[in-house]
Every structure is written in structure tokens, then in C-alpha cells.
């Protein structure tokens, strides 16, 4: 409910930090309140925020309904709660009672007390109603990333010196060179191209390989790193944080 959006965030942080149980959807069981598997727990703890209502793709969800903080087990009117507690096991004939501090759900507190433990409740979060909303259906499949069917990995070369200035990828490399000549978003690449053109040099585009769309980024990075290590001072943005080659391609040509 809109009026309870405020407490949801700090309550979520508490559940992420201290609870290993949650409302989770499992095929064949539907929505249940259960101990989370390591994968489910990791997913739940990865949520940076929890909008209202919950996104339909989420499989571990924040408990629905009104949530409010309470202290000292003042839980009248709450159907279910999660609290910061201390547990003391009663020993007959001694006053030595080991104490352990932990967070417990309502049913866990009940079980410990039935087993003879003394439970002190300090503070917690409670829900006025508890249950699975009838409108909750199975989580929708997460959208899969869309890949190009294939693409070409290429480089731009100063035809006169043989120096490579850029490695890229494109589905239509025959149009990419003209786009590079008009590009203004990568100033290092623009400066490299303009300086070569001003010296009367031609810039040529050469295709290295055709790759499946799922491998484009991997292969583009491979060839960028390869030519960088060959001494070409590439103008790719990714190279800005790399150490410059000890010997540039131009110096190699002079030494030859």
C-alpha cells in the first residue's frame, strides 16, 4: 500500500541481512514461505531496492501487505513478524544461562519456547496480514539479451605506414568507415584519423573475422588487446587505462 512504502526499504535491508527464509516460487509447489536455497538467497540479497508492487519477474518476494516496526514484543494485531531476540536455555540447578542473540520469525520463537528456551524479543518488523495474494502467478521469464545474428571484427589502418589506430565491430562494415570519418564522440580516434588525412594518408578498413553475435564483445576485445600488444597505439576507449606499449609500431618500423 502507498502509505507503507517508507518502512519497506529498512525492513527489506533487515530481511536481506538476517533472514534465510522468504516467500519464494518453486515449480510444482507454487509460492511458499520456506528456507531459501543458496541461489535464492543470493538473488534476494542482490536486490538494491524493492518497488511497490513487486516486479513480476522476481521469484523471491517481499512479504505483501502493511509492514510496521515494533519493540519489546508489542505484537498485538500482527499476524506474523520477524524480530531481534535473545535465546537462553534454562539449566536446572544453576543460574548460568548461555545467551545467544539472533533474529527469529514468529513460528521459530514459538518452537524455541515449546522446547523450554527463554526468548526475549527486543524489536522487529510485523505484518498485519500474512499469506500469498491470489493474484500472484508464476514469475515471468527474465528477458534474454538480444544478440546480433553475426558481426564483423575490423580494424582501421593508415595505409601508408601500416599503423592500426582502431579495432571495432559492425554488422555492416562497408558503411562503417564513412561513419568513422564523421564521428565526433571519440576525440582520440578523430584526432588520429584527421592527422593521417591531413598528411595525405588514406585510412582503410580491413575485416579480421565474422563472428556470431554472442561472441562479438569477446572477439573485439581479443583483437584490441592483440594489436595493442603488437605496439599499435589504438584509440579505443578501453585502451585509455592500459599502459602504453614499450615500443610503438612506428618505432618498430623505423628500427627495421
pLDDT tens for residues 69-128? 999 988 888 999 999 999 998 765 555 667 899 999 999 999 999 999 999 999 999 999
Of 72, 80, 88, give the one whose Cα is nearest residue 15.
Answer: 80
How many residues can be counted in the chain?
A: 256
Comparing 87-101, 163-177, 228-242, the range with the smallest average pLDDT is 87-101
Same domain, 32 and 118: yes
Same domain, 94 and 175: no
Same domain, 9 and 107: yes
User: For the chain, what percent of residues have pLDDT higher than 90?
Assistant: 53
Same domain, 110 and 70: yes
Same domain, 161 and 67: no
pLDDT at 206 over 90: yes
User: Where is the domain boundary, 127, 142, 168?
Assistant: 127
Residues 99, 88 contacting (CB under 8 angstroms): yes
Is 239 part of a structural domain of the chain? yes
pLDDT score of 209: 96
54 φ, ψ to 5°? -70, 145
Q: What is the CA angle 68-72-74, rounded to 5?
A: 55
- Model pTM score: 0.53
Strand partners of residue 71: 123
Q: Which residues contact 188 (CB under 8 A, 6 or more apart)?
A: 235, 240
Same domain, 123 and 154: no
pLDDT at 184 over 70: yes
pLDDT at 52 over 50: no
Q: For residue 159, what pLDDT band results from cuts at 50, 70 and 90? A: very high
Same domain, 186 and 221: yes
Kindly provide the b/e burial profile for residues 160-186, where b requires at least 16 CB atoms within 10 angstroms of the residue's own CB: eeebbbbbbbbeebeebeeebeeeeee
Same domain, 190 and 249: yes
The grid cell for 82 is 520477524
pLDDT at 48 over 70: no
How far apart (Å, rounded) are the C-alpha atoms in residues 62 and 47?
Answer: 10
pLDDT at 156 over 50: yes
Domain of residue 81: give its range. 2-127
Amino acid at each position: 500500500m502507498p502509505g507503507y512504502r517508507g518502512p519497506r526499504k529498512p525492513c527489506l535491508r533487515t530481511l536481506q541481512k538476517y533472514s534465510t527464509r522468504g516467500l519464494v516460487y518453486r515449480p510444482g509447489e507454487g509460492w511458499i514461505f520456506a528456507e531459501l536455497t543458496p541461489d535464492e538467497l543470493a538473488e534476494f540479497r542482490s536486490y538494491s531496492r524493492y518497488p511497490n508492487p513487486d516486479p513480476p519477474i522476481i521469484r523471491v518476494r517481499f512479504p505483501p501487505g502493511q509492514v510496521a516496526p515494533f519493540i519489546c514484543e508489542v505484537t498485538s494485531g500482527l499476524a506474523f513478524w520477524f524480530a531481534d531476540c535473545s535465546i537462553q536455555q534454562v539449566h536446572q540447578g544453576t543460574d548460568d544461562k548461555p545467551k545467544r542473540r539472533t533474529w527469529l520469525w514468529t513460528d521459530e520463537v514459538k518452537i524455541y519456547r515449546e522446547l523450554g528456551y527463554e526468548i526475549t524479543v527486543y524489536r522487529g518488523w510485523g505484518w498485519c496480514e500474512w499469506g500469498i495474494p491470489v493474484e500472484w502467478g508464476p514469475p515471468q521469464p527474465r528477458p534474454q539479451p538480444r544478440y546480433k545474428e553475426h558481426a564483423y571484427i575490423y580494424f582501421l589502418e593508415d595505409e601508408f605506414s601500416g599503423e592500426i589506430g582502431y579495432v571495432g565491430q559492425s554488422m555492416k562494415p562497408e558503411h562503417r568507415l564513412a561513419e568513422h570519418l564523421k564521428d565526433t564522440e571519440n576525440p582520440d580516434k578523430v584526432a588520429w584519423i584527421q592527422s593521417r588525412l591531413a598528411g595525405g594518408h588514406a585510412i582503410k578498413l580491413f575485416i579480421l573475422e565474422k563472428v556470431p553475435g554472442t561472441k562479438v564483445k569477446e572477439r573485439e576485445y581479443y583483437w584490441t588487446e592483440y594489436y595493442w600488444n603488437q605496439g599499435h597505439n589504438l584509440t579505443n576507449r578501453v585502451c585509455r587505462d592500459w599502459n602504453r606499449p614499450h615500443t610503438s609500431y612506428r618505432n618498430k618500423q623505423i628500427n627495421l
